[in-house]
Amino acid sequence: MQTQAERFLEALQHRVYSSLGLTAEDCQRREWAGTQVVLPARLQQMAQALTPPEFERYRAALLEGLSKDEEAQRPTRFERPHQYSILRELKEAVEQAAQRLRLHLPVQPVIGTLPTQLLEPLMLPVPGTRDVVLVVDGTLLTYANLLAKAVAQTLPLADVERATARLADNGEWQSRIDPSGAGRGRFVELMLATLQGNPGGAPAHLPEPDWEQTAIELCDCMELFLVAREYARLIEGDHLEATPETRSAHGQSFDALVWTGEQELKADWMGLALMLAAADEQGTPTTWAFWAADLLVASFGIYDRAAWFVRNGTAGTPSDPYPTIHDQRRALLRRLMRQWGHGPEAVEFADALQPVLDVLEADLTAVLSAPCSSPVH
């Protein structure tokens, strides 16, 4: 039996997907078709990387996981098994983190997907109730996944793991930031696709074993931070004061709560605390967890500057970087982080890795400012 919030979400999904000419069955088939492409390639990759006994264990665990995703209950007919399994795990991890921190959660939201074409979740009030629904565009999960893989491929991991806090004092390692350009190329592909309104349009690629675990940890923490910020609003009670505003997805209107600038910054603070607690439970070091949040927010700033650059059509590189709200968010997160145990070390780690982000943004700017190029339409 569906709850009222789940029925509300399914009705909204039905309206939006119908406007695109899609049924719930079409949504399921699309994920199935994608799996048929990715799964054989992944198995082939792991067959070469593992011994035969290791591969058989990996294969059995992978197929068992996919089967569990298919069988697990989902809130609506439009939720896709694998995609929803990610949201369900994020929801459970954040709720457990809130419990560990003894934070009162006044309502447990329903979480689901909706093609909003936004790089942020939306919180929707359920009419006639105190319940809310969190909707996430599935391409936001794709964005986090591809961003994590591009950055992990860019990092000189041996330098980072060996030096950590001493990176800032030794510029030699910067010459080993992605010398092949492969990671930088993936980042540019992702940002160009995002500028066109569809992060999922960036070419998909499998992670390589050398940097796969780093990509997984970064992606997990970025996704946790996205969901944790929405839970922070509930814990702070901001959802009770927020004003609904009419939004639209593919011609279908609905109400979503709108946040003040102060509420957004509060969400960062509490969301970071929840994410760090969840990451600690999963065994992710505080340094990497904080940098994942910093990386995500920094990428939004890079996107905003690139969008400004495209809109203004300025030739060459701007002499003064366009400031964004995300730069302020990063500064606030650093101030907060320094007040917590192991926080100063985490901030130092993030600051030391800033050259990686500078290299990525420089490559993107170079592509956007190249003469006679039209990467964005």
Q: Give pLDDT tens digits for 39-87.
A: 898 888 889 889 999 999 989 998 999 899 888 999 999 999 999 999 9
Report the amino acid identity of residue 124.
L
Task: Categorize the per-residue pLDDT at 256 as very low, low, confident or very high, splitting at 50, 70 and 90.
Answer: very high
Average pLDDT over residues 141-169: 79
Say if CB 225 and CB 216 are below 8 A apart: no
So what's the pLDDT on residue 175? 79
In a domain, 59, yes or no: no
Containing structural domain, residue 207: 83-368
Task: Categorize the per-residue pLDDT at 161 as very low, low, confident or very high, splitting at 50, 70 and 90.
Answer: low
So what's the pLDDT on residue 171? 65
In a domain, 126, yes or no: yes
Give CA separation, 113 vs 10, 37, 89, 96, in Å. 10, 22, 14, 22
The larger pLDDT score, comparing residue 164 to residue 310, is at 310
Average pLDDT over residues 144-148: 97
Four-residue CA torsion sign, 94, 9, 7, 10: negative
Q: Which residue has the tokens 């992670």?
A: 207
In a domain, 71, yes or no: no
Distance CA 184, CA 179 (A): 9
So what's the pLDDT on residue 373? 53
In a domain, 10, yes or no: no
Structure confidence by residue, pLDDT tens digits, 173-220: 777 888 899 999 999 999 999 999 999 999 988 888 889 999 999 999
Average pLDDT over residues 95-116: 96
Whole-model pTM over 0.75:
yes
Four-residue CA torsion sign, 27, 34, 221, 326: negative
Structure tokens at 64: 């068992």
In a domain, 105, yes or no: yes
Give CA separation, 184 vs 28, 88, 149, 316, 362, in Å. 33, 31, 10, 19, 10
**pLDDT over 70 (residue 377):** no
Average pLDDT over residues 163-180: 70
Domain count, the chain: 1
So what's the pLDDT on residue 83? 93
In a domain, 302, yes or no: yes
DSSP per-residue letters across 221-259: HHHHHHHHHHHHHHHHTHHHHPEEEEEEETTEEEEEEE-
Q: Which residue has the tokens 């992060």?
A: 199
Distance CA 135, CA 152 (A): 28
Q: Which of helix, strand or coil describes residue 216?
A: helix
Lowest average pLDDT, out of 51-65, 240-254, 319-333, goes to: 319-333
Q: Which of helix, strand or coil describes residue 4?
A: helix
In a domain, 283, yes or no: yes
